[in-house]
Amino acid sequence: MTTPSTPASPAVPALTSLVDALRGLIQEGRQQALRAVDMVQVQTCWEVGRHIVDFEQGGQARAAYGKRLLPDLAQALTREFGRGFDATNLRHMRGFFQAFPIRDALRRELSWTHYRLLLRVASPEARQWYMTEAATQNWSSRALERQMGTLYFERLLLSGDKVTVTAEAAANLAALPPTPRSFVRDPVMLEFLGFPRVGKLLESGLEQALMDKLQAFLLELGKGFAFVARQHRISTESQDFYIDLVFYNYLLKCFVLVELKTRKLTHQDIGQMDMYVRMYDDLKRGEGDNPTVGILLCEHKDESVVRYSVLNDNAQLFASKYRLVLPSEDELRQEIERERAAIEMAQQLQTKPEK
């Protein structure tokens, strides 16, 4: 008795050709959607800046708002539209309009992140040149930042050997790692669109699960922790930084910042946390609050390290208090290792072939 033959599957080369065609179609569609959102975001930020400048120039009655205008405006807009409209961003939008007062002269190819970088350039001539080059050469925001940091325009203007300077600039861009912008992983765009819990969309699976567990662990301690924010943005005039977790501890009367690194801890990480603590004290700490605490974790086995960064080292009483309230290094390390083991076990069970 013969076994009936299985119907032939479609020819592999034909299927591969179809997949290739659809891949290009989908990627192009996503890029078009991304460019459309970029264009709308840039135009909106420009218009917001124009309205702020017009309001500030509207006479003595409006000028009376003075320094309160942006914080008060940010509070109202953030309440309705999310944290993409905080005082720092509004300051950028006002500066954007002042630096580029003619909207039709803006380059549609550039994102709001590009324009925020361009605001760092003091010279109008250099700013215009970098804008044009970034658009015509299709520079990413990282490429633009690299060229600005090496003073490409200034060196090109002064050099008698422009070919060498241009070749060096091209080599600088070639050295950048290939990190194409993802369709939904731009925090600036996500904030503008009002997406909730931006951090959920930015983190890898393992780090996300560990952060979820760590957040729950600290809240379950019952030692005064209140959750404040996830992927909390703090900004300088030219850069944004995102803190993994922010809590307020009402027993210590201070903010507690938590950063998790899924690799070996470096001195740069410690320096970054120290900067976060100092920035948070400067920007967020209230009159009755104690110094901000920073907890920095590296979850790798045998290299799990905790660093508590507390300003005002002479506050010994406070130092003693936080040692009693915050979890110990062993507690945090064990919690991270338990969760990592559980995640790895679940992954193994999912990939284990059925018998």
Q: What is the pLDDT along the chain (355 residues), one digit of tens a residue?
A: 444 554 544 556 778 888 888 888 888 887 788 888 889 999 999 999 999 999 888 766 565 666 788 889 998 998 888 778 888 889 999 999 999 999 999 998 899 989 999 999 989 999 999 999 999 988 888 889 888 888 888 888 877 777 887 887 787 777 665 554 555 556 677 777 776 655 555 555 666 676 777 777 777 767 788 888 888 888 776 677 888 888 898 888 889 888 877 667 777 888 888 889 888 988 888 888 888 888 887 755 555 566 666 544 544 445 555 566 777 777 777 777 777 777 677 766 666 555 5
For residue 296, the surrounding DSSP H or E stretch is strand 293-298
Which pLDDT value is given to residue 309? 64
Query: At which residue do the structure tokens 């909730």 appear?
Result: 196
Which pLDDT value is given to residue 234? 84
SS3 category, 260: strand
Which pLDDT value is given to residue 128? 93
Task: Report the predicted TM-score, pTM, of the whole model to 2 decimal places.
Answer: 0.62
Nearest CA to 124 among 145, 149, 109, 105? 105
Domain 198-351 belongs to what topology? Answer: Trna Endonuclease; Chain: A, domain 1 (3.40.1350)
Q: Which two tokens stand for residue 355?
A: 């018998």
Half-sphere exposure of 194 (CA within 13 A, CB side): 6
Q: Which two tokens stand for residue 161?
A: 């050997």
- Residue 57 and residue 15 in contact, taking contact as beta carbons nearer than 8 Å: no
Which pLDDT value is given to residue 101? 94
Q: Report the C-alpha gap between 226 and 220 in whole angstroms.
A: 10
Which pLDDT value is given to residue 63? 59
- Could you give the C-alpha distances from 4 to 10, 11, 147, in angstroms and in order? 18, 20, 66
Which pLDDT value is given to residue 314? 41
Q: Sign (positive/negative) of CA torsion 337, 273, 325, 227?
A: negative
SS3 category, 339: helix
Q: Report the C-alpha gap between 276 and 259 in whole angstroms.
A: 10
Domains of the chain, by residue range, sit at 23-174, 198-351
